[in-house]
């Protein structure tokens, strides 16, 4: 489950503001801001945000012991064989 702390960590990795997350996820920036400030949001909204982060190579990490984000930079499929 996405936490406000993990979202802030993910934004930091991407150098995104709340408006960038909102645009990528197709939600309002006020929703993103309110979530980061502790308000509950719909599960469908959290799923959209996580999908937007994952599309940029960011994995959200939330366990009982820790929460945060990591970025995986890999080669994108280009259709060219090397």
pLDDT tens digits for the chain (82 residues)?
899 999 999 999 999 999 999 999 999 999 999 999 999 999 999 999 999 999 999 999 888 888 888 887 664 444 444 4
Sign of CA dihedral 29, 35, 40, 46: positive
Q: Which domains does the chain have, with CATH numbers?
A: 4-71 (1.10.260.40)
CA distance 71 to 61: 11
Residue 69 has φ and ψ, to the nearest 5°, of -150, 155
pLDDT of residue 73: 67
pLDDT of residue 51: 95
pLDDT of residue 74: 60
């Amino acid at each position: 489950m996405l936490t406000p702390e993990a979202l802030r960590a993910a934004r930091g990795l991407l150098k995104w503001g709340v408006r960038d997350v909102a645009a990528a996820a197709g939600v309002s920036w006020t929703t993103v801001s309110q979530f980061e400030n502790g308000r509950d949001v719909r599960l469908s909204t959290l799923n959209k945000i996580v999908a937007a982060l994952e599309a940029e190579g960011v994995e959200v990490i939330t366990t009982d012991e820790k929460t945060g984000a990591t970025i995986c930079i890999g080669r994108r499929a280009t259709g060219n064989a090397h």
